[in-house]
Amino acid sequence: MKILIAGFQHETNTFAPTKASYSSFVQGEGFPPMVRGDAVFGLRDVNVPIGGFIKVMEANGHELKPVIWAGASASAHVTTDAFERIGGEILAAVEAGGFDAIYLDLHGAMVTEQHDDGEGELLERVRRIVGARMPVVVSLDLHANVTARMFEHASALVAYRTYPHVDMAETGERAARLLEDLMHEGRVLHRAVRRVPFLIPVNGMCTLVEPARGMYQLLEDLEERPVVTVSFAPGFPAADFPECGPTIWAYAFDKAAAEHAADALFAKIAGEEARWDVPFLTPDEAALEAIRVSSSAAKPVIIADTQDNPGVGGDSNTMGMVRALLRNGATGAAVGVIWDAEAAAAAHRAGVGTRISLALGGRSGVPGDAPLEGVFEVEHLSDGRFRFDGPMLNGMQGELGPVACLRIEGVRIAVSSVKMQVFDRNLFRVAGIEPEQMKILVNKSSVHFRADFEAIAEAILVAKAPGPMAADPVDLPWTRLDPAIRLRPLGPSFSESDPARLASA
């Protein structure tokens, strides 16, 4: 086969403060930077879906026609300029023809300034060009909000199965085998879809623990011929449009088999709804518990500052957890990574060993957050270049721009010039902080950090400090959800909720 391949990934939090511009995709912001043409083959050994797809299809003798690959950190809406420029390159290549099939490495939760369903819009435009018979296979993130348009215009969709996402390349491999099945079998691939009737907190989706771990184990058990593939996307519960929410789907060469697999997976999650809810700590509760546990621990206690996670749309600069550590007298603590290019520049001008007065971070605009004013000691400076050595993007180069380690009382703060989620220990090391040597680590992350940090953690706590990404979906100011969907496991439906009820929930 000759296969056109491309990738365009963004997870959109419609409540977040900052949009994704074209330059966000050029830079990558924790993803690989934008690449075109044969440079896409440079992703072959990177843990992204297109890398796994390339390796399988090259090994099987197929010819690949790479167009573009672009991803950016989660944020508010993708600008129209970015969507049309990147999507336009993909569509121009599709229009030029010369291929037998298409593979797209998409996210599944992209909302643009003009389109609630960015992937559905792109796929509809592709299908309009190639017609109904062309195989179009798509890989999706586990956090996809999968829509009717995506199902209609893709020949098949397949999603990640791990969170932290250590199986991104494996998902590309599954997409490759799925495309070969489509081309070789010559039979109708039947699809069964089930919508889960409640939103799931992001922190409850971790596949290292129950109930998500058991859900994906059953999913794999159900994949026996004639069932070809089964997927479960818990969704991204921060996109304010009617199709936001979890989805289960199965493909099989037998319609009854597809329906059975989808029904079995749906019955499991419906019967365990209460287990998908998540307990959270206040900043002071998290700080005090971390201090208590770390006093006799050999390894650091890790606090997930989940509501300012740049991986779900936060800007990684809220100061709530820093204030809680200072307020409660924490020592041997480190926080990372605070995105504040002005503070990093000031530290570089001042030099290591100096003391500088700053108003650090606190630019989220979220009630309860404000810059932290104080005198900080500059302990370390770097150019922010590092390599990912953790499981998620292992071997890829990262750039945070000028980086500084600023110390105030017993707290070290890694400050960067580029926004990036802390899912690799080297984001601390590039600021001169050895994470294993700290008593307490505060990570601007929700779950991804577990892939590299869980092995060094004495305990992991989840804190709800003020931030732009509500960890509990019931706390968000929804306006356009499906009226029947429950705002959290066993919670009120959207149609039953009102501002007073949300405020007291």
Residue with tokens 């949300």: 502
State the DSSP string of 74-99: SBSPBPHHHHHHHHHHHHHHHHH---
Q: Which run of H or of E encompasses 396?
A: none
- Please check whether residue 441 is in contact with residue 334, taking contact to mean a CB–CB distance below 8 angstroms: yes
> Same domain, yes or no, for 296 and 322?
yes
What's the pLDDT score for residue 187?
77
- Please check whether residue 419 is in contact with residue 309, taking contact to mean a CB–CB distance below 8 angstroms: no
Residue-wise pLDDT tens digits, 403-431: 999 999 999 999 999 999 999 999 999 99
- In 10 A of CB 312, how many CB atoms? 31
Quote the DSSP letter at residue 313.
T
Residue type for position 466: P
Residue type for position 424: D
Residue in 216, 230, 237, 201 with CA at minimum distance from that of residue 161 = 216
> Same domain, yes or no, for 189 and 292?
no
> Same domain, yes or no, for 254 and 331?
no
What's the pLDDT score for residue 504?
43
| Residue 478 domain-assigned (yes or no) | no
Instruction: Write out the residue range of the structural domain in which residue 371 sits.
Output: 283-463
> Same domain, yes or no, for 451 and 346?
yes
| Residue 481 domain-assigned (yes or no) | no
Residue type for position 259: E
Choose the final residue of a domain: 276, 304, 325: 276
- Please check whether residue 180 is in contact with residue 189, taking contact to mean a CB–CB distance below 8 angstroms: no
| Residue 377 domain-assigned (yes or no) | yes
How many separate domains does the chain show?
Answer: 2
| Residue 487 domain-assigned (yes or no) | no
Helix, coil or strand: residue 329: coil
Query: Over the Cα atoms of the chain, what is R_g?
Result: 22
Query: Token pair for residue 230?
Result: 């089964």
> Same domain, yes or no, for 86 and 164?
yes
> Same domain, yes or no, for 213 and 335?
no
d(CA 392, CA 382): 23
| Residue 183 domain-assigned (yes or no) | yes
What's the pLDDT score for residue 30?
82
- Please check whether residue 140 is in contact with residue 108, taking contact to mean a CB–CB distance below 8 angstroms: yes
> Same domain, yes or no, for 385 and 259?
no
E-strand stretches of 72-200 = 101-106, 136-140, 156-159, 190-195
2-9/372-382 β-pairing: unpaired
Q: What is the pLDDT along the chain (505 residues), one digit of tens a residue?
A: 999 999 999 999 999 888 999 999 999 988 999 999 999 999 999 999 999 999 999 999 999 999 999 999 999 999 999 999 999 999 999 999 999 999 999 999 999 999 999 999 999 999 999 999 999 999 999 999 999 999 999 999 999 999 999 999 999 999 999 999 998 877 789 999 999 999 999 999 999 999 999 999 999 999 998 999 999 999 999 999 999 999 999 999 999 999 999 999 999 999 999 999 988 999 999 999 999 999 999 999 999 999 999 988 899 999 999 999 999 999 999 999 999 999 999 999 999 999 999 999 999 888 999 999 999 999 999 999 999 999 998 888 999 999 999 999 999 999 999 999 999 999 999 999 999 999 999 999 999 999 999 999 999 999 999 998 889 999 999 999 999 999 999 999 999 886 554 444 4
| Residue 503 domain-assigned (yes or no) | no
What's the pLDDT score for residue 499?
52
Quote the DSSP letter at residue 448.
T
> Same domain, yes or no, for 210 and 348?
no
CATH number at residue 65: 3.40.50.2300
> Same domain, yes or no, for 172 and 297?
no
The answer to whether the peptide bond before residue 211 is cis (omega within 30 degrees of 0) is yes
> Same domain, yes or no, for 170 and 241?
yes
| Residue 22 domain-assigned (yes or no) | yes
> Same domain, yes or no, for 310 and 347?
yes
| Residue 218 domain-assigned (yes or no) | yes
Residue-wise pLDDT tens digits, 218-266: 999 999 989 999 999 999 999 999 999 999 999 999 999 999 999 999 9
> Same domain, yes or no, for 308 and 232?
no
Backbone angles phi, psi at 393, to 5 degrees: -120, 40
